[in-house]
Chain A
């Protein structure tokens, strides 16, 4: 009994220690993990695959470095998929750091051997239009005019001088919107304005903490697909065949989850045993 009472007053630092060990050790292990594909991620992948070459994809980077472990692998995978399928990518951000995350993702991709010989051309195959303040009102304005909302790209070049932007007026000239979101403004606002008001076709990648709020949009058909958190990143990587950090990090994630579940079981067991003893006495 004394053992369970001790468990009830266990120092929180002991739990932190075990969680830390569970996160760090898998980094040094070479163990494969089976990743099951969920229908939502499969639908997202299918939406990309259905786009004919030359289609215009609007990728919105609505996150910043703290959310990068979950969303950066998904951004890299989506960009690779677009470049390999010859889809034209227009990148924007409703978060100030978003366009810089886009450039980091491009840097990762272009450092690979595959792209050293045949790097996609800026302004023709892809463009980064930068950040625009105004949250959901930016989306609202894009419904009228994308060039008016983003008159210059990230480097300050007027959009009229960018070949990829020729003929793009509003969402009717965009074949698919892919939103990477870590909060507000993010997927909820894109669904409300771009999808429900301007009838854009859209898929999303979200941080895990936000994913439960967004799942109803998938089942209502407002989103074509959804990739939630690191698990979604690993699934997306498996489907595309580009194994990256999403897959690598999943082992640490799983180990940490096992530890958390074990502590929940231990804590509850200790609670019920000590409570039973209190009742009897």
Chain B
């Protein structure tokens, strides 16, 4: 009975969202607003229980300080009660940076939020510089240096070279250079076409999933 009720509710919401295909309507608006509200609420609770509570409050010992006895001693208890250093104390820095980020909401001292932002941008860009260079540039370039002994290799090399020529704007696209750039455009078009085809397949799959739910799980018409 419970599952029938939840399935019926889910089916009504699914139909409500799909009804937008006909035209905008109050049921669609209701389902859309409900989805946004539930998502935001779920996200907040999830982040609290997966992030703030175990990583910050538990590790530092704040939850224990507030009376939770089933949580092991945190870094602050270890430091002040036993005089032990714990690397979990580093979470304090993360917590302070988090608070600084929230100061963005106070217009008078909002500038403080630029410091944690600078920390994030600096560390992430440094990390990404290495990973993207290694995985998406070097390894892919290495994979393009191939012997011209098969049609596939030929297509790969011609596609890569002409594609790069198309994006070279320091020389006018005329003559042989222009022809190569034109070939590059055709390769790009084929790439976009393949990507679009895959996107169509992906979106159809989402709809198939809902149709399976409506006719199979909910109505039981499909086994």
Task: Please give the residue numbers on chain A whose beta carbons come within 8 Å of chain B beta carbons, in ascending order.
Answer: 13, 16, 19, 23-24, 27-28, 66-70, 96, 131-133, 136, 140, 191-193, 195-197, 207-212, 216-217, 219-222, 228-231, 245, 249, 252-253, 256-257, 260
The reply to whether A209 and B199 contact each other, CB–CB distance below 8 Å, is yes
Contact of A16 (CB < 8 Å), options: B21, B143, B205: B21
| A-B contact list, 12 entries, CB within 8 Å | A23-B211, A24-B211, A24-B215, A27-B216, A28-B221, A28-B222, A196-B135, A209-B198, A209-B203, A230-B208, A249-B205, A256-B208
What's the Cα separation between A166 and B136 when bound, in Å?
35
Contact B139 A220 (CB under 8 A): yes
Check B132 for interface membership: any CB of A closer than 8 A. yes
**CA–CA, A144 to B221, complex, Å?**
50
Question: How close is B14's CB to chain A, nearest CB, in angstroms?
Answer: 12
CA distance A67 to B202 in the complex (A): 9
- The answer to whether A209 and B208 touch (CB under 8 A), given A24-B215, A196-B134, A220-B140, is no
Among B43, B139, B203, contact of A222 (Cβ-Cβ < 8 Å) = B139
**In the complex, what residues of A have CB within 8 A of residue B134's CB?**
192, 196-197
- Give the one of A131, A192, A197 with max B CB within 10 A: A192
Q: Tell me whether A96 and B204 are in contact in the complex, defined as CB-CB below 8 angstroms, given that A27-B222, A212-B195 are known contacts.
A: no
Interface presence of B142 (CB below 8 A) = yes
For the complex formed, measure the closest distance between the CB of B85 and the CB atoms of chain A, giving whole angstroms: 17
CA–CA, A120 and B142, complex, Å:
43
- In B199-215, the 8 Å CB interface with A consists of 199-209, 211-212, 215
Q: How far is the CB of B89 from chain A (nearest CB, A)?
A: 15
Nearest CB on B from A157, distance (A) = 14
What's the least CB distance linking A130 to chain B, in Å? 8
In addition to A24-B215, A229-B198, 16 A-B residue pairs with Cβ atoms within 8 Å of each other are: A19-B204, A27-B216, A27-B221, A133-B47, A133-B50, A133-B51, A136-B127, A196-B131, A208-B198, A208-B199, A208-B201, A212-B191, A221-B143, A222-B139, A230-B205, A253-B208
With a cutoff of 8 Å between Cβ atoms, the chain B residues found around residue A256 in the complex are 204, 207-208
Q: Tell me the smallest distance from the CB of A155 to a CB of chain B, in Å.
A: 14
The answer to whether A131 touches B50 (Cβ under 8 A) is yes
Question: Would you call B212 and A27 a contact (CB within 8 A)?
Answer: yes
Q: What's the least CB distance linking B54 to chain A, in Å?
A: 8
**Cα distance A208–B136 when bound, in Å?**
20
Contacts of A195 in B (CB 8 A): 135
Contacts of A230 in B (CB 8 A): 201, 205, 208
Task: State the 9 A-B residue pairs at the shortest beta-carbon distance, nearest first.
Answer: A69-B209, A209-B202, A208-B202, A192-B131, A220-B143, A208-B201, A208-B198, A192-B135, A133-B51
Which of A27, A66, A219 is in CB contact (< 8 Å) with B206? A66
Q: Which residue of B lies closest to A212 (CB)?
A: B195
Contact B139 A196 (CB under 8 A): yes
In the complex, chain A residues whose CB is within 8 Å of the CB of B43: 96
How far, in angstroms, from A210 to B194 measured CA to CA in the complex? 11
A191 proximity list for chain B (CB < 8 A): 135
Which residues of chain B in 61-118 are interfacial with respect to chain A, using CB atoms and an 8 Å cutoff? none
- Contact assessment for A253 and B142 in the assembled complex, using a CB-CB cutoff below 8 Å: no
Give complex CA distance A132, B47 in Å.
Answer: 10
A68 contact from B139, B195, B209, B211, Cβ within 8 A: B209
- Closest CB-CB distance, B121 to chain A, in whole Å? 15
Q: For A68, what are the chain B residues with a Cβ–Cβ distance below 8 Å?
A: 209
By a CB distance below 8 angstroms, the chain A residues around B206 are 66-67, 69
B46 sits at the interface (CB 8 A): yes
Nearest-neighbor residue (CB-CB) of A15 within chain B: B21
